[in-house]
Amino acid sequence: MKNLNNKKILFIICGGISAYKSLETIRLLKKNSAEIKTILTSSAKEFVTPLSVASLSQGKVYSDLFSLENETEMDHISLSRWADVVIVAPTTANTISKLAQGTTDDLASAVILASNKQIYLAPAMNVRMWEHKSTKTNLKKLKDFGYKFIGPEIGDMACGEYGEGKMSEPLKIADELNQFFLNQSQNKKFKALVTAGPTNEYIDPVRFITNKSSGKQGYELAKCLSKKGFDTTLISGPTNLEVEKDIKLIEVETADEMFAATQENLPVDVAIFSAAVSDFKVKNKSQTKIKKEEALNLNLEKNIDILNYISNHNSMRPEIVIGFAAETNEVLKNAEEKLNKKNCDWIIANDVSNKNIGFNSDYNEVVIHYKNKSLKSEVLPYKRKSEISEEIVDRIIDQLN
Residue 28 near residue 170, CB atoms below 8 Å: yes
- To the query of whether residue 159 is one of the catalytic residues in this protein, the response is yes
Buried b / exposed e over 34-61, threshold 16 CB at 10 Å, is bbbbbbbbebbbebbeeeebeebbeeeb
d(CA 269, CA 191): 5
Residue 56 near residue 31, CB atoms below 8 Å: no
Bridge partners (DSSP) of residue 196 are 236
- Residue in 14, 159, 224, 344 annotated catalytic: 159
Residue 10 near residue 39, CB atoms below 8 Å: yes
Neighbours of 185 (CB within 10 A): 12
Mention every residue, 6+ apart, whose C-beta is less than 8 A from residue 6.
33, 34, 35
d(CA 188, CA 297): 51
Q: What is the DSSP letter of 173?
A: H
d(CA 244, CA 84): 14
**Residue 379 CB-half CA count within 13 A:** 5
Residue 247 near residue 234, CB atoms below 8 Å: yes
d(CA 106, CA 146): 21
Output phi, psi for 202, to 5 deg. -75, 140
d(CA 334, CA 90): 49
Residue 83 near residue 96, CB atoms below 8 Å: no
Buried b / exposed e over 232-248, threshold 16 CB at 10 Å, is bbbbbbebebebeeebe
Residue 134 near residue 142, CB atoms below 8 Å: no
Instruction: Tell me which residues are annotated as active site.
Output: 159
